Amino acid sequence: MIKLGCHMSVSKGFANMGRDALSIGADTLQFFTRNPRGSKAKEIDLEDIAEFNKICAENSFGAVIAHAPYTLNPCSKDEKVREFAFETMADDMNRLELIDNVYYNFHPGSHVGQGAQEGIRLIAEVINSAVKPGNKTTVLLETMAGKGTEIGKCFEELKSIMDSVKSGINIGVCMDTCHVFDAGYDIVTDLDGVLREFDSIIGIDRLMALHINDSMNPIGSHKDRHQKIGQGSIGSEAFSRIVNHPYLKRLPMCLETPNELDGYKREIELLRGFAK
Ligand code: FE
Ligand code: FE
Ligand code: ZN
């Protein structure tokens, strides 16, 4: 069975978030490691995290996804912004050691005029100093829509970052369906072709998770506006093929559509209905 969940709030604690996931039929989930705008993470409650680990294990959850704040920009021209990215990532990675089966997903960042190549070098530099080779959490680069000067809008850029990361650091990719579509990859009429391209450039075994979002805009729009499943330009049929694709159905899938919990519950039911 596919592992399906959605983006959730951890504000009432990890165990409560796990219970909320169960209540909507989810068996994975995603949460922000800290407020996307602010910088301070909540204090660690070991009992709460132990309870969360238990809920995940007892209910056969897939890997859960910890999402770094959007304000993290490891390839900023501003050294202070890069320093913040380093400190946040290092602190998040330390905390995530306590969670049993978790990926750490982040947006590679936007370069500020210094070019993609220099941006890629800076991103790898932050990863190399923030992530310790012994960390058990796998770091995931998210595929981006290519809004502005976002890095990660094509598989080649993600591959370059991965190639510049020290050996011993576990690194993979989280594919966001809205983002790859907005970046110009035709997952609607040529899903197989896109995944073959991913395989030849990065290696399909490096694809570790999916963000399941429809898109408000046409292919190649570079907009990054998520839509509810079946109500955007990707459409239900494409999502049916996505959740059944042999390369994808083994991955944890998290919705990031404009919904509250009840809406997520309906979309989880809808997608589980698509899965053969
Ligand atoms: Fe994201
Ligand atoms: Fe996403
Ligand atoms: Zn997005």
Task: State how far the Cα of 121 lies from the Cα of 202, in Å rounded to an integer.
Answer: 18
β-sheet bridge partners, residue 207: 173
Nearest listed ligand to the Cα of residue 182: 3
pLDDT of res. 114: 87
| Cα–ligand 1 centroid distance for 187 (angstroms) | 18
pLDDT of res. 112: 83
| Cα–ligand 2 centroid distance for 254 (angstroms) | 9
| Cα–ligand 1 centroid distance for 106 (angstroms) | 6
pLDDT of res. 37: 66
In the block, tokens 């998210």 appear at: 142
- DSSP, residue by residue, 129-155: HHS-TT--SEEEEEP----TTBS-SSH
| Cα–ligand 1 centroid distance for 33 (angstroms) | 12
| Cα–ligand 3 centroid distance for 179 (angstroms) | 6
Task: Name the nearest CA neighbour of 20 among 56, 66, 47.
Answer: 56
Task: Name the nearest CA neighbour of 254 among 14, 45, 24, 15.
Answer: 24
| Cα–ligand 1 centroid distance for 69 (angstroms) | 9
pLDDT of res. 38: 60
Question: pTM value?
Answer: 0.97
Nearest listed ligand to the Cα of residue 67: 1
| Cα–ligand 2 centroid distance for 33 (angstroms) | 14
Whether the CB-CB separation of 32 and 10 falls below 8 Å is answered with: yes
Record the tokens describing residue 240, joined without a space. 């049916």
| Cα–ligand 1 centroid distance for 268 (angstroms) | 19
- Which ranges of the chain have pLDDT less than 50? none
pLDDT of res. 50: 98
**What number of other Cβ atoms are within 10 A of residue 156's Cβ?**
12
pLDDT of res. 191: 98
| Cα–ligand 1 centroid distance for 54 (angstroms) | 26
